[in-house]
Amino acid sequence: MLAAGLVHAGAAASAIGAPGQYVGASSCAAQNCHGSVSPRSESKTSLQNEYVTWHTNDRHAKAFESLRTDRGLRMAQLLGMVPATATAEDWLSQTERAGQCLDCHAVNVPGERHGERFRLDEGVTCEACHGPAGEWLVEHTEAGWEPSRSIPLGMRDLTDPAAAAATCLGCHLGSDERRVDHTLLAAGHPRLSFELDTFALNMPSHWKEHERNAGWFRGGAWAAGQAVSLRESMRMLGREGRRQEWPEFALYECSTCHHDLVTPSSRQRRGYGGRMPGTPILDSSRYAFAETLAQETAQTDDLGRRLRDVSALASRGRFGAPLERAADEIAALSNQLLGPRPRPLERDEAARLLRSIVASHDRRAYEGFGTAQQMAWALDVLAVALVGDQENHPLRREIGVLFEQLKSPSAYDPARFSRSVAIIEPLIP
């Protein structure tokens, strides 16, 4: 399968299109470009095996095919998108609403922007993240060509983790055109979650460190991801408030409503934090530790208060101008967390952040499964920044235990998780 997709450099050159055109993933697959079967050292910035890494290991390459499954068909039928006679293989061609799915599961751009090698069924390809390559595909292979020269021609500067986070969140959170609302979740769509550093590592990552992308390493991507997730979440909150009168339930923490009401659940045993039972709680998991980041890096001093004000408004269903203004102010404030350009964390910063997150274990564990995920991801990222990529280090081993408790939202036990996080504190150097 893979060998058939590889092309030689001359073929790649013939595949270019007009400015703004998407040329297709196979146009990047020449063995002396990004299609090497193993990493190479000729380039200072590229491993040259990026196409192979994406094609064989990256879930984005399977995004289109995931729609053509029994689960994809069942969701489409529940949403009234296709007739009962549709099959998993053909339902996408039988609905006028395919864009609702294809906008995130493929590079769904107008036909006039398709190059001759473009294929919708390739899924989420190189150009979904790096931008349409029609104007820079050939040029960026020339000797002496600097990557910065491709940016004005349509390439996204993903050496900046903040720019990458904004691109990822276009699907992993949503935008004006892309939405995973409560209806879609109820039909069976997985809950959206995102943490830049962890998700990038699990792609798996297909880049090496160099001078221009240093902000991706040693906690820099985690910090940038928290700031950008905060910004984009606040923007979404404002958009959803303008979209309809009643709040969109997908914006709230699921366990607010979805917990056992007969056998006392952890939420019932713990209490509702001064809220009446059944009061919806805004899902803040994607930016759960932005406030901690602000406190420990001295970037802002009132982010926590502002977040509590927004959460209170959203919990009371007070959408409209007051919530929109408060969310917009936080979105603007989030840029202070980024600074001029994301950078690696200093060792003492990583240690302070680790201690602060661990110290909040009891409160955070009860905020829901999503926040617990974010805590485990953050602790692991910061531990690597502090002690390096030593999986056998006691700190990393105990953090690894947390992930065993996060395999299923329905089986998540906040009390147990909280106890496990507390064990980590004395292990922090």
> pLDDT, tens digit, for every residue of 215-271?
999 999 999 999 999 999 999 998 887 776 677 889 998 888 887 777 777 767 777
Q: Is residue 119 located within the same domain as residue 231?
A: no
Within a domain: 45: yes
pLDDT profile of the chain (429 residues), mean per 10: 31 53 93 89 85 95 97 96 95 96 96 94 96 92 86 94 97 93 94 96 92 94 97 92 77 83 71 73 94 83 89 86 91 87 93 96 93 98 93 93 94 95 95
CA-to-CA dists, residue 78 to 110, 241, 242, 418, angstroms:
27, 26, 27, 38
For residue 197, give both structure tokens: 């550093």
Within a domain: 8: yes
Q: Is residue 206 located within the same domain as residue 343?
A: yes
Indicate the SS3 state at residue 282: strand
pTM of the shown model: 0.90
345 φ/ψ sector (left φ>0, alpha ψ -120 to 50, else beta): beta
pLDDT reported for residue 425 = 95
pLDDT reported for residue 256 = 82
Q: For residue 131, what are the domain limits?
A: 2-156
φ, ψ of residue 360 in degrees (nearest 5) = -95, 15
**Helices 414-422/369-387 angle, 10° precision:** 20
Give the pLDDT confidence of 283-292 residue by residue, as tens digits.
999 999 999 9
Beta bridge partners of residue 240, listed in sequence order: none
Report yes or no: 286 and 173 within 8 Å, Cβ to Cβ: yes
pLDDT reported for residue 12 = 39
The whole-angstrom distance between residue 152's C-alpha and the CA centroid of its chain comes to 25
- Rounded CA separation 270/293 (Å): 27
Number of domains present in the structure of the chain: 2
Report yes or no: 134 and 163 within 8 Å, Cβ to Cβ: no
Q: Is residue 95 located within the same domain as residue 192?
A: no
Angle of CA points 256, 279, 379, to nearest 5°: 45
- Rounded CA separation 265/294 (Å): 33
Sign of the torsion formed by the C-alpha atoms of 405, 370, 163 and 63: positive
Q: Is residue 197 located within the same domain as residue 247?
A: yes
- Please tell me the number of Cα atoms within 13 Å of 72 on its side-chain side: 21
pLDDT reported for residue 169 = 97
Rg (CA), the chain: 23
φ, ψ of residue 301 in degrees (nearest 5) = -120, -5
Boundary-marking domain end, from 304, 330, 355: 355
Report yes or no: 188 and 195 within 8 Å, Cβ to Cβ: no
Give the pLDDT confidence of 218-233 residue by residue, as tens digits.
999 999 999 999 999 9
Q: Is residue 73 located within the same domain as residue 193?
A: no
pLDDT reported for residue 244 = 66
pLDDT reported for residue 245 = 63
Indicate the SS3 state at residue 114: strand
Within a domain: 360: no
Boundary-marking domain end, from 325, 355, 385: 355
CA-to-CA dists, residue 355 to 196, 301, 407, angstroms:
21, 19, 25
Within a domain: 78: yes
- Please tell me the number of Cα atoms within 13 Å of 242 on its side-chain side: 11
Sign of the torsion formed by the C-alpha atoms of 268, 272, 277 and 282: negative
Q: Is residue 125 located within the same domain as residue 202?
A: no
Q: Is residue 224 located within the same domain as residue 121?
A: no
Q: Is residue 104 located within the same domain as residue 187?
A: no
Q: Is residue 307 located within the same domain as residue 255?
A: yes
For residue 125, give both structure tokens: 């390809």
Q: Is residue 151 located within the same domain as residue 204?
A: no
Q: Is residue 142 located within the same domain as residue 256?
A: no
pLDDT reported for residue 242 = 79
Indicate the SS3 state at residue 232: helix
Q: Is residue 86 located within the same domain as residue 45?
A: yes
pLDDT reported for residue 16 = 52
pLDDT reported for residue 129 = 96
Within a domain: 224: yes
pLDDT reported for residue 89 = 95
pLDDT reported for residue 72 = 97
